[in-house]
Amino acid sequence: MLQSINPVNDELIQSYEEYPQEQVYEIIESSHKAYLKYSLSSYEERAAKMKKVSVILREGKEEFAKLMTLEMGKTISQSRAEVEKCAWVCDYYADNAKDFLKDEIVETDASKSYVTYNPIGLVLAVMPWNFPFWQVFRFAAPNLMAGNGGILKHASNVSGCALAIENIFNEAGFEKDLFRTILVSSKNMKSVIENERIKAVTLTGSTPAGKSIASTAGNVLKKTVLELGGSDPYIILRDADIEQSVKACVTARLINAGQSCIAGKRFIVEKEIAEEFTQRFLEELSSKKMGDPFDESNDLGPQAKSELREELHQQVEKSVALGAKILLGGIIPEGRGAFYPPTLLVNVKKGMPAFDEELFGPVAPVIIAEDEEDAINIANDTVFGLGAAVFSKDVAHAEFIAKNRIKAGSCFVNTFVKSDPRLPFGGINESGYGRELSPFGIKEFVNIKTIFIK
């Protein structure tokens, strides 16, 4: 039984029977048949349907936003923004997929030779709860525009969102069964990945989950794209605009109640400005309101699950036991719900969970660097490599650091890290591999085929 629990009050929203294996196989077979027909459609036909998806999303924005907020607790304003972003990615690929995947002529000794991009079949997406619509649409829009089909295994606590997304694609007029949701627990995914109709797997989630999925898929020679955890460093150099830096860092730490792979998670400040930055950081964090995510005046809601809140608190407590100091928060509030307050930690050192691990919640560790070189070394002292940011009034110098010195899939200058359909998104090391979004993303799951005519 899969359960969706309201993280505001710990009450059951709905229970869902897990699909038996036979039903899952029937769904996959039906999706495969739909793919065989759909793969022969034109880009114009696909684009018309994808444009309809964006219309449905925008027209139903309030309904979809309420569903997200109810199931996982993000503020209603952030849920509305997420729906809009999903519509954007649908429009982006509807407008650009044909150009991204057009044949590429290559001059050789042939009378004609070129590279063409063919769909490969059903792509299985194993998706997390933190952005229950966006994570799905950033996989689905490019893959359906490429001519593939989609099978979605969503996080169990957002099963309502998963079924709503399936309905959106059906309503938009895509081939019946081309995009399907399967309600299956994570422990029963091995046979799904191994199913011969599944041709590739994409996962957004934790590093352990990624390793497990990649291992299973690798054993049956299926390509994977993995977007995993992160411990994103934000470097604040001595010449940074402190007001601008603080606002960006607080936004980066509290968006989605801190439950984002690309949230700022380690704030590395040169010691010359550390005291001033920390004081302003404390003031800005203190001004943020936590509470009912349906209340427009609140800045953050609860964590998505009570057990995740407990794990986060244990990381804080272990860090404190090892010498970190709490300047704000760090106390589980009384009452129902999975709430955890904005928390500021200082005196954070290597060897503490707050330094070494991903903090998936509104906990901000400040780490003092001796100088710029020390800050860069601290930033790169991680097993992850998803996002990063550098703050400095010397934009050219910050750009040099971002481009040449920071080991991450993306690095932003003087602002917080975010995803954009026009730019590739993904990480290195234990943050995963492969890229989503942009022209790179749509080419991950296609057959890059050489045609040679003598």
pLDDT, tens digit, 9 for 90 and up, residues 42-68? 999 999 999 999 999 999 999 999 999
- List, as one string, the DSSP characters of 382-423: SS--SEEEEE-S-HHHHHHHHHHT--SSEEEESS-----TTS
The pair of three-digit structure tokens given for residue 156, joined into one six-digit string: 């169990």
**From the candidate CATH numbers 3.30.360.10, 3.40.190.10, 3.40.309.10, 2.50.20.10, the one assigned to the domain spanning 232-413:** 3.40.309.10
Element (H, E) at 98: helix 76-100
Instruction: For residue 369, give the 3-state DSSP assignment.
Output: strand
What positions carry a catalytic annotation? 227, 261
How far is it, in rounded angstroms, from Cα 70 to Cα 64?
Answer: 10
Instruction: For residue 258, give the 3-state DSSP assignment.
Output: helix
Indicate the domain borders of the chain.
2-228+428-453, 232-413
Task: Tell me if 32 sits within 8 A of 149, measured CB to CB.
Answer: yes
Question: What is each CA distance from 55 to 19, 83, 90, 134, 409, in whole angstroms?
Answer: 30, 11, 10, 16, 32
pLDDT, tens digit, 9 for 90 and up, residues 79-126? 999 999 999 999 999 999 999 999 999 999 999 999 999 999 999 999
> 267 - beta bridge partners?
234, 366
> Which CATH superfamily includes the segment(s) 2-228+428-453?
Aldehyde Dehydrogenase; Chain A, domain 1 (3.40.605.10)
Per-residue confidence in pLDDT tens, the chain, 454 aa: 999 999 999 999 999 999 999 999 999 999 999 999 999 999 999 999 999 999 999 999 999 999 999 999 999 999 999 999 999 999 999 999 999 999 999 999 999 999 999 999 999 999 999 999 999 999 999 999 999 999 999 999 999 999 999 999 999 999 999 999 999 999 999 999 999 999 999 999 999 999 999 999 999 999 999 999 999 999 999 999 999 999 999 999 999 999 999 999 999 999 999 999 999 999 999 999 999 999 999 999 999 999 999 999 999 999 999 999 999 999 999 999 999 999 999 999 999 999 999 999 999 999 999 999 999 999 999 999 999 999 999 999 999 999 999 999 999 999 999 999 999 999 999 999 999 999 999 999 999 999 999 9
